[in-house]
A and B are shown apart, each in its own frame.
Chain A
Amino acid sequence: MITVIAIDALEYTLVEEFNMRNLKQDYYGRTDISEFSEPRTMVLWSSFMTGENREAEILAKGDKEMWNTRIPHEETFFSHFKNPFVLDLPGYNYDLEQHRRERELLKEFFEEKDEERKREVRRKYNENAFAHHRRVKERFFEALEGDYDFVLGYFSVADVIGHLNFGNRSLMKMIYRDLDDIVSRVEGKKIVLSDHGMKAVGAFGDHSDYGFWSTNFRDLGRPRITDFKRIVLQEALGE
């Protein structure tokens, strides 16, 4: 049994700065995503689950359509498991409606000129993201109790909240602490992985061009995101 805690936009330098010991586990570092032209969520997770660089294919769908990507189960390494549980992963089974709502509010925020209304949109945006996070957490912990041979939980809160609030460090730190706490509650072999990190752009956050990884079983050096298929299968199934 192995658990992957997939955290969107978990930033290596912040994990270090906040000294989040559970997120760091025993071994941790940056991933190498330099083979991709841009650190895009959908491209990176699609490549992760298939063990292949899927950038060309995903980008070809265009900005809008790419978010609807659903990679068939048999093309993913999850299919090597008898009874896998994958929670809310982009490109596989994530909640399209949730994501549509997030993008809508984000657009509204940047189009809004009035400062007070802007704050109100941000409040809605945050509330929407946090509500989703609470649901995901609940389902994740239920899954850990279940009879699965592989569990992957995908947490978008650091990315979604980060985009509009990255400058609010105390809020970001509390989110990191919550994620740190989630990892601490997972038993057995585990991998923490992010697609990309996040860097400050004024009060906002943009994607940084490396991801974060950590394990409690071995040093992975500077892995590419496509290496995780092999790493997971080797650790879990000895393949």
Chain B
Amino acid sequence: MEREHLKLVIVGHVDHGKSTLIGRLFYDTDSLPREKLEEVRQICEALGRELEFAFVMDHLEEERSQGITIDTAQTFFKTAKRDYVIIDAPGHREFTKNMITGASQAEAAILIVDVSEGVQEQTRRHAYILSMLGLKQVIVVLNKMDLVGYSEEVFEKVRGHTLDFLKRIGINPTYVIPISAREGDNVASRSERMPWYTGPTILEALDTFKKTERRDGGPLRFAVQDVYNIEGKRIIVGRVEAGTLRRGDEIVILPTGERTRVKSIEEFMREGVEEAPPGKSTGITLEDKLFVDRGQILCRLEEETPKMVSEVKGSIFWMSSEPLQVGESVIFKCSTQEAPCRVEAIERRIDSSTLEVIEESSSRLENREVGEVTLSFASPVIVEDFNVTPELGRFVIEKEGNISGGGIITRLEG
């Protein structure tokens, strides 16, 4: 049986110990290939130092960036219960951008805070994105407890400040755990140096989290990526964004509204495939020869279909030095849809670091600001509220050929 895996994002201020924590998680769960570890250990020894997890991460990252490592084992760490996939490389230059385009896939998050420094600018920014993406399964770890003598008093103080801040942005972490990633306290094993802490270790806490519900029986959303003609067959390739696609399903094609039936599910070297689960990229053929194109969404006839709207409202995190401006045209990308849109209004422009509202109504959104933006479309797009169907509720904005912002849809209009 295939092991379950849960996608995890680890965020926090750059110096607060992300790399060390990731290295520690890999190491303590015995998830690193031994020969790699040995290689790093030897280099550390040559340099006259102990094995440090930041070095382990360096090694893995470098290999990955050069495309040497395709071995997926290295992006996983394992517990008895399941595998965890870390979906973000720490220390990346475009970290925030990745958060928007990548963290949106995460099912759980660890927010790391250096207990000797408390919440910093980047902590705020990253936490704000977690909140914007609606991540509910969040662990806060207060790291570097070794630097404050494993003091309960310091922990409680910083815990209080951190929770106050998170409450203001609507994050209610499931756990707050005192750890030392460097020393291994409360990561995989309980710390004897903090007998006052009776909660779970990071691994225990993670194992209590649930796989984000994939609504198997829920409404089908199949996003068309491309259409190929192979050996006389017209194969529609796409991704099951939500629901489960079954052979024989009566479907409706949006936005054309045409109806047909799924004739077959086509997979390489497999015959008679009956269904494709959520998240699966696959090919299908249809009973009738209808016009199908990239960007269209196939839904099940008897189910509720998504709305086609000409206006949406969404929270956007802007991450380009070129501001987003009211009145300009940009490209909206959601699932496989790509549509030009006009920026109608920008409300509640927020500094993502201080979380202060800069302006209630504004003509622009600058780099690293968050705003509630209204976008209008010349021809309708197929989208849904993020909290109903996340897969069709998140989008990115492309301006002048660059991905410049990302966000989630909070309201549909028209």
Chain A contacts to B: CB under 8 angstroms: 19, 21, 126-127, 130, 133-134, 137-138, 157, 169-171, 173-175, 177-178, 181
Say whether B93 contacts A173, CB under 8 Å: no
Report B43-73 CB contacts with A as 1/0, cut-off 8 Å.
1101111000011001100110010000000
B40 on interface, CB distance cutoff 8 Å: yes
Instruction: Give the residue of A126, A130, A134, A173 whose beta carbon is less than 8 angstroms from that of B58.
Output: A173
**Can you list 20 A-B contacts with CB-CB less than 8 angstroms, sorted by A residue number?**
A19-B91, A19-B93, A126-B46, A130-B48, A133-B47, A133-B48, A134-B47, A134-B48, A169-B66, A170-B58, A170-B63, A171-B43, A173-B58, A173-B62, A174-B40, A174-B43, A174-B55, A177-B54, A178-B47, A178-B49
Which B residue's beta carbon lies closest to that of A127?
B46
Residues of A near B59 (CB, < 8 A) are 170, 173-174
Count of CB-CB pairs between chains A and B under 8 Å:
41
Which B residue's beta carbon lies closest to that of A176?
B58
- Known pairs A169-B62, A170-B58, A177-B58; A130 contacts B46 (CB<8 A): yes
Residues of A near B44 (CB, < 8 A) are 174
Instruction: Tell me the dominant secondary structure on chain B's binding face.
Output: helix
Which B residue's beta carbon lies closest to that of A175?
B47
Residues of B near A127 (CB, < 8 A) are 46
- The winner among A21, A133, A170, A177 for most chain B CB atoms within 10 A is A170
User: In whole Å, how far is B38's beta carbon from the nearest beta carbon of chain A?
Assistant: 14
Question: Told that A157-B47, A177-B54 touch, could you supply 9 new A-B pairs with CB distance under 8 A?
Answer: A19-B91, A127-B46, A130-B47, A133-B46, A169-B62, A170-B59, A170-B62, A173-B62, A175-B47
User: In whole Å, how far is B32's beta carbon from the nearest beta carbon of chain A?
Assistant: 14
Which B residue's beta carbon lies closest to that of A181?
B49
A169 vs B67: C-alpha distance in the bound complex, in angstroms? 12
Residues of B near A173 (CB, < 8 A) are 58-59, 62
Residues of A near B46 (CB, < 8 A) are 126-127, 130, 133-134
A178 vs B62: C-alpha distance in the bound complex, in angstroms? 16
User: In whole Å, how far is A8's beta carbon from the nearest beta carbon of chain B?
Assistant: 16
User: In whole Å, how far is B42's beta carbon from the nearest beta carbon of chain A?
Assistant: 10
Residues of B near A130 (CB, < 8 A) are 46-48
User: In whole Å, how far is B44's beta carbon from the nearest beta carbon of chain A?
Assistant: 7
Residues of B near A157 (CB, < 8 A) are 47
